[in-house]
Amino acid sequence: MPRILVVEDEPLISMLMEDWLQELGCEVAGPAITEQAALDYLGNGGLDAAILDIHLGNTDSYALADTLREHGVPIAFSTGDGAPSAPGFEDLPVLHKPFDFDAMKIVVGKLLANP
C-alpha cells in the first residue's frame, strides 16, 4: 500500500484528502500542518509521495518540497492560488482548490508512476 504524506493546514481539506487517498488504496501519513511535522514524517521513512499545500499559515512549502525531492519523494502541490510561483516547481502536478476525487486520482497516479 503506497504511503502518501499530506501537508495541509485546513482541517476540512485534509480530512477530505485523507478519505480520498484511502479510497484510492493509499495509507496516509499525516496530515502534517507545519513543515516541522512533515519533516518528522520524512524522518520516519517509508514515504512513497507527498501532497503539499503551497501556503502553510504565513509561509510556503517550497523549502519542504526541496527537502522531499532530495530524499527522492515525488511531490505534488495543492493550492487555491494557481500554479507554483517558485522557479523549479513548474513541472510538478498541482491540485487546484477546490479539487475533486477525479483530480486527486490523476495526481496520485502521476506521483506513483514516478521512479
Which tens digit of pLDDT belongs to each residue from 102-111?
999 999 999 9
Per-residue confidence (pLDDT) for residue 115, from 0 to 100: 52
Which tens digit of pLDDT belongs to each residue from 7-32?
999 999 999 999 999 999 999 999 99
SS3 of 51-115: EEECEECCEECHHHHHHHHHCCCCEEEEECCCCCCCCCCCCCCEEECCCCHHHHHHHHHHHHHCC
CATH code for the domain defined by 3-100: 3.40.50.2300
User: What share of the chain in percent tops pLDDT 70?
Assistant: 97
Question: Which pTM was predicted?
Answer: 0.94
Domain chopping of the chain, boundaries: 3-100
